[in-house]
């Protein structure tokens, strides 16, 4: 096999693409990955990793504001936005170096270029200098991710109007910021900038913030944001913007009428769209649906030998979902007998606001709509000793149980580091644990995780501490 012929080629080296390439190499397939810009994709370079580095700074800022309860008197704190941004970029760079090492270690060939389908099993690559070459493979996985969607009335100029990339590398902390869109991205940035000292207004056209989350969770988070000084407008639409005198004047349609808000910057966080416009999918007749590449449960497209994983193949647009699809897709290609198709009800979601939000499975609203008879358990962190000791008693754990079978249908958490706890419910759900079996699990004391146990007990009318 020549240097341009492979068993498998992956287009894109994000958390879906590089994982697919490494797993394919482990399984003995001669593998190449094509990446036009950064190994690690949006996640490592401009998404989940650098935002979490910035949010760590915001968490420290929150702790400093509340240091008196632990006996510390801090009269003056100087904050350098550039230093925090530099920290986030260093974290990203370190992880990208790690991906580079892993691909080399597994003998994956890396092409720094853009790719376009020319025929079945054939790609044309174009590098930064405009040089082209052809490479071929029996199997090609599209893992090109997604990019920020834009509103026509909110053109991103990179200065006054940001997308997530500009929001990650500000040269200074703005005094005021309007965030349009309250999904995970918008809410994380709103929480981040509010904690750092910026006056934030969060706007969404939906009836609730965090539209994908349980209604009780969304309402609680809105109250938390507002208690910290953030202004939240739901069922509100941005009509237009005008840039004047160094500020952005924003006309917003609310239920009460039209309101004008002036801010230093506006962040557009209205969602993402699949990134495949330049791939030449039409040349092969690859089908799309609702703006994403259409796939079956094994990530196959309608064209034999072509697959799609991660954000480019549709919601939920999560890095861990992309990595899981990468593994199952490659293992199916290689003929691994134990591989299972993706069950989307098993995908946990994490939102790194303050406090954090984590969930898996059905919301209460969707479970009721599906006709289930429910037992719902809820336990507040206000009744958890570890949470009180740490000064982080905001939030609760909510579990949704099928009252007829004891099946865990969903779990929804708000609170300190709940993104680290949701894996417990993910394991329980995957192993088909029931409320009765979970009630018998011994949770260590004193821990935040005890709230998970108490929530299950509450659903069974057996809670001890509430």
Residues labelled catalytic: 445
Q: What sign results for the dihedral spanned by CA atoms 174, 176, 178, 184?
A: positive
Q: In sequence order, what DSSP letters do the residues of 239-286 get, joined into one string?
A: EEEEEETTEEEEEEEETTEEEEEEESEEEE-S-EEE--TTS-GGGTT-
Beta carbons of 184 and 351 less than 8 angstroms apart: yes
Beta carbons of 224 and 195 less than 8 angstroms apart: no
CA 193 to chain centre: 18
303: Cβ–Cβ under 8 A, 6 or more apart, which residues?
A: 120, 284, 285, 286
**Where are the alpha helices (H) located in 207-318, listed in sequence order?**
215-227
User: Could you give the CA distance from residue 456 to residue 150 in angstroms, rounded to a whole number?
Assistant: 42
Token output for 42:
């949006």
| Residue among 30, 21, 9, 27 nearest 326 (CA) | 21
Interior CA angle at 339 toward 338 and 342, to 5°? 145
Beta carbons of 254 and 235 less than 8 angstroms apart: yes
User: Could you give the CA distance from residue 202 to residue 223 in angstroms, rounded to a whole number?
Assistant: 12
Q: What are phi and psi of 146, to 5 degrees?
A: -140, 165
CA 257 to chain centre: 33
| Residue among 312, 465, 327, 300 nearest 396 (CA) | 465
> Which residue matches tokens 């200065």?
159
The conformation of residue 355, written as its DSSP 8-state character, comes to S
The conformation of residue 345, written as its DSSP 8-state character, comes to G
| Residue among 233, 251, 231, 229 nearest 241 (CA) | 251
| Residue among 351, 276, 340, 282 nearest 314 (CA) | 276
| Residue among 8, 9, 23 nearest 322 (CA) | 23
């Amino acid at each position: 096999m020549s240097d341009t012929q492979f068993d498998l080629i992956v287009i894109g080296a994000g958390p879906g693409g590089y994982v697919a390439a490494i797993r394919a190499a482990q399984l003995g397939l001669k593998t190449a990955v094509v990446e036009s810009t950064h190994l690690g994709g949006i996640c490592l370079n401009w998404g989940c990793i650098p935002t979490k580095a910035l949010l760590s700074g915001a968490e420290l800022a929150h702790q400093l504001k509340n240091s008196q309860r632990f006996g510390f008197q801090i009269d003056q704190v100087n904050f350098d936005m550039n230093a925090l941004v530099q920290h986030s970029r260093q974290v990203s760079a370190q992880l990208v170096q790690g991906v580079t090492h892993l691909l080399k270690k597994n003998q994956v060939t890396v092409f720094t270029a853009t790719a376009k389908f020319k025929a079945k099993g054939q790609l044309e690559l174009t590098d930064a200098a405009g040089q082209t070459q052809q490479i071929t493979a029996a199997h090609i996985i599209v893992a090109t991710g997604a990019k920020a969607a834009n509103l026509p009335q909110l053109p991103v100029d990179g200065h006054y109007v940001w997308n997530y990339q500009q929001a990650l590398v500000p040269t200074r902390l703005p005094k005021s910021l309007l965030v349009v869109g309250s999904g995970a991205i918008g809410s994380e940035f709103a929480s981040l900038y509010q904690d750092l000292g910026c006056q934030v207004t969060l706007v969404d056209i939906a009836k609730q913030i965090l539209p994908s989350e349980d209604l009780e969770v969304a309402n609680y988070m809105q109250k938390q944001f507002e208690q910290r000084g953030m202004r939240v407008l739901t069922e509100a639409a941005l009509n237009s913007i005008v840039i004047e005198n160094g500020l952005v004047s924003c006309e917003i349609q609310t239920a009460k009428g039209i309101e004008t808000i002036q801010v230093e910057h506006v962040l557009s966080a209205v969602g993402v769209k699949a990134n495949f416009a330049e791939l030449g999918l039409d040349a092969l007749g690859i089908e799309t649906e609702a703006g994403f590449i259409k796939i079956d449960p094994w990530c196959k497209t309608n064209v034999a030998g072509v697959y799609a994983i991660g954000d480019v193949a549709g919601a939920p647009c999560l890095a861990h979902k992309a990595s899981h699809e990468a593994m199952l897709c490659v293992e199916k290609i290689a003929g691994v007998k134990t591989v299972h198709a993706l069950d989307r009800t098993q995908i946990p979601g994490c939102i790194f606001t303050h406090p954090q939000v984590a969930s898996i499975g059905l919301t209460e609203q969707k479970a009721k709509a599906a006709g289930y008879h429910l037992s719902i358990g809820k336990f507040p962190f206000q009744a958890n000793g570890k949470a009180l000791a740490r000064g982080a008693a905001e939030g609760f754990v909510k579990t949704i149980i099928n009252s007829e079978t004891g099946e865990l249908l969903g779990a929804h958490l708000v609170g300190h580091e709940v993104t680290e706890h949701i894996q417990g419910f993910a394991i329980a759900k995957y192993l088909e644990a029931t409320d009765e079996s979970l009630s018998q699990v011994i949770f260590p004391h004193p821990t935040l995780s005890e709230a998970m146990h108490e929530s299950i007990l509450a659903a069974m009318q057996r809670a001890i501490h509430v």
